[in-house]
Amino acid sequence: MAANGGAAADKVPAVANPLSEKPSEIASNINYHAQFNPHFSPLKFEPEQAFFATAESARDRLIKQWNETFVHFHKVDPKQTYYLSMEYLQGRALTNAIGNLNIQDAYADALNKLGHKLEEIVEQEKDAALGNGGLGRLASCFLDSMATLNLPAWGYGLRYKYGLFKQRIAKQGQEEIAEDWLEKFSPWEIVRHDVVFPVRFFGQVEVNPDGSRKWVGGEVVQALAYDVPIPGYKTKNTISLRLWEAKACADDFNLFQFNDGQYESAAQLHSRAQQICAVLYPGDATEDGKLLRLKQQFFLCSASLQDIILRFKERKSGKGSREWSEFPSKVAVQLNDTHPTLAIPELMRLLMDNEGLGWDEAWDVTTRTIAYTNHTVLPEALEKWSQPVMWKLLPRHMEIIEEIDKRFLALINGTRPDLQHKLPSMRILDHNPQKPVVRMANLCVVSAHTVNGVAQLHSDILKAELFADYVSVWPTKFQNKTNGITPRRWLRFCSPELSNIITKWLKTEGWVTNLDLLSGLRNFADNADFQKEWASAKMANKKRLAQFILRVTGVSIDPNSLFDIQVKRIHEYKRQLLNILGTIYRYKKLKEMSPEQRKKTTPRTVMIGGKAFATYTNAKRIVKLVNDVGEVVNNDPEVNGYLKVVFVPNYNVSVAEILIPGSELSQHISTAGMEASGTSNMKFSLNGCLIIGTLDGANVEIREEIGEENFFLFGAKADEVPKLRKDREDGLFKPDPRFEEAKQYIRSGAFGKYDYNPLLDSLEGNSGYGRGDYFLVGHDFPSYMDAQARVDEAYKDQKKWLKMSILSTAGSGKFSSDRTIAQYAKEIWNINECRVP
């Protein structure tokens, strides 16, 4: 063994102890993996090698629990939930695994014996790049809760090699480069070489003499399963996230063509298969891009359903004959947004064409199996696929969708003639001759037994507006399931100092799995000793964050300033533009003050982070603007003691785990009615961070839970927005002079030569595409500035601020994903605990 831990490691015998909890035996097990399960040249035991060996050692424990869980589920044969999602934002797994297994101290000791520090080893792991934003992180929190609640459930997703992208900030703004999380390998996944399913694309439909139909021809790729273990917290249950990889067979390699020098065409199917799981959300401006996205969605649905059906049949064979009508009493499928909608026609196809069921029986099984979660009211995010593209790629599925549409029309015509005039918008197929499309959300609502929104306000909007006509047909189909977050990753592990104080004062660690217990902290909100400990934990987190910011951006920030953070995908509706315009106004005012006046202000560090989608021009302009403002402000000696502006690059789960605990104010400032829920608002709140925000998404419920006096509210309400847009069109909007001043300051060239007019033009005019301030930045600006002034005042009274911070954490109990998942299990899936003995 060489350098850096090499000498220490030489003294530890390399012996397999896969299940030990003793530090010395864990150290031996880690060393055993380094020597006998090698991935690197011998004699190397630097932090990177130590990480892989440590992960494999922890994985030994997980595999035992995983196998026991699998066997137990097989024996008990409970109803199971299968969660289908295009995204999972897992983050790093090592801290979470040894934390949930409750062996982090033993692992820290073991690594010391090997000459390494756990904190440094943990930093070697790359985030699993399988998601983009809240939708993917929600799916990951849900898996953690399913395992912790001992529920029989699995996640299904795709194994993206290059993720969405890694964000780099250059002079020109954001640059996208491929994620490298699989460049070496992931120590957590286990490839299941025996779990392979064929997935077909293109081809045609053959009609047999008996009238049955079969999809044939086209191209067939193989779906290969990779399993990632998901351990519950302090429980034996360990469930699976099954990720599919697309492959072609050796038979598909044309040796004759290759030897003839036709190298590309010899391996054509191999390269097409590789494209499927290369990138999350590939650009879809071209027809090929659209086909690839549709391929990804179908690939996920088909492989997952074939797997689910096979498992049902295997258990059936052990239990004598089992009727297909029993399928929904053994299987629940949840569609996370519209991306996996093709599960509906695919399940119909598998049941009819492969298993020989008739339409009525297949439809009964499908509609009792599938449920749908809606995540957005933004029209551009409600997927609509071109009918010609669908006919080309999935001809059999289009036949099935046509039939579902036809029968839905007949149902409404027969039972609800009063709704006939609404059918053009309610039906699944939009036959607009210019652009015929399939409306995926409509297909989900018509076919699923339950449709849910993800926060009370969002679910109310779905029922009153987006899906109002369906509600009158199926009043009991619609539910609310307010999102939640896992308290393990988002407090217990990412803020150990704060966690230990909470445990000490509540005299129990029970809050980690029963988050409602946090309400007990209200008893200590005014306690001076408690406030002092709380403040020191927050300061430790702020210092850790300041070191991180210095390391990744080179900007030094003052931990005594107010840390103000907005991190989320960059989108006009999330209004990072409102934040930076407010910050620009603050900078301009600071410039105009005398040194004495400046000393009376509240020093603030504004941090903004998030990825802009590669083809979303205005979002990328916002990223550039934040960076340009930071460049000027942070180098202005008159002002930089009172204001710093930092763009945090490449925001991901691991970055969030540093930012959120160190934050004191966080901004959740979307135009009311446009953010379905938001979940980072819950993470900040849980960590004692105060929110400045609109009455949107889960903000509404957070404010109710923590007390409205502890929430900095501003902006128009959701039900006022349509009239405000109408007023704007009618030329009735009068802008606030401060708003005009901030925009003018950008136009004056104060932040460099880049032409920001195209971005600012979106705030100008009264109507027209990309104009007329659709997201009401101008309308909400004065109210936002007033709320920010209240923040500045409140922060000056540190005792009051600390009390608000404590009450914020104390009111966050409702927002545990354990509560959310328990509600799904009982009210949608009808599944029960299945605890491994």
Q: Which residues are identified as catalytic?
A: 375, 568-569, 574, 679, 683
Through-space distance between the first and last CA atoms of the chain, rounded to whole angstroms: 41
Handedness of CA 442, 447, 453, 457 (dihedral sign): positive
- Distance between CA 78 and CA 67 in Å, rounded? 17
CB 545 within 8 A of CB 751: no
Other beta carbons within 10 angstroms of residue 81's beta carbon come to 24
Which residues have CB under 8 Å from 332's CB, separation 6+?
79, 80, 81, 82, 369, 371, 828, 829, 830, 831
Partners of 228 in beta bridges: 241
CB 575 within 8 A of CB 670: yes
Q: Which residues of 314-333 are buried (b: 16+ CB within 10 A; e: fewer)?
A: ebbeeeeebebeebbebbbb
Output phi, psi for 44, to 5 deg: -105, 125
Instruction: Report residue 144 as tokens.
Output: 């953690």
The residue among 787, 782, 727 whose CA lies nearest residue 581 is: 782
Instruction: Report residue 457 as tokens.
Output: 């306000």
Cα–chain-centroid distance for residue 559?
29
The residue among 205, 142, 136 whose CA lies nearest residue 164 is: 136
DSSP summary character for residue 164: S
CB 246 within 8 A of CB 269: no
- Distance between CA 148 and CA 164 in Å, rounded? 29
The residue among 11, 14, 5 whose CA lies nearest residue 49 is: 5
Other beta carbons within 10 angstroms of residue 19's beta carbon come to 11
- Distance between CA 52 and CA 47 in Å, rounded? 9
The residue among 132, 86, 130 whose CA lies nearest residue 342 is: 86
Other beta carbons within 10 angstroms of residue 757's beta carbon come to 11
Q: Is 650 left (phi over 0), alpha (psi -120 to 50) or beta?
A: left
Other beta carbons within 10 angstroms of residue 36's beta carbon come to 10
Q: Which alpha helices (DSSP H) does 573-616 contain, by range?
A: 576-592, 595-599
Amino acid, single-letter form, for residue 832: N
- Coil, helix or strand at residue 200: strand
Instruction: Report residue 431 as tokens.
Output: 């036959």
- Distance between CA 82 and CA 326 in Å, rounded? 16
Instruction: Report residue 790 as tokens.
Output: 């209240």
- Distance between CA 743 and CA 732 in Å, rounded? 20
CB 832 within 8 A of CB 78: yes
CA atoms within 13 A on the CB side of 567: 31
Which residues have CB under 8 Å from 75's CB, separation 6+?
none
Which residues have CB under 8 Å from 261's CB, separation 6+?
none
CB 115 within 8 A of CB 169: no
Output phi, psi for 633, to 5 deg: -60, -45
- Distance between CA 643 and CA 583 in Å, rounded? 9
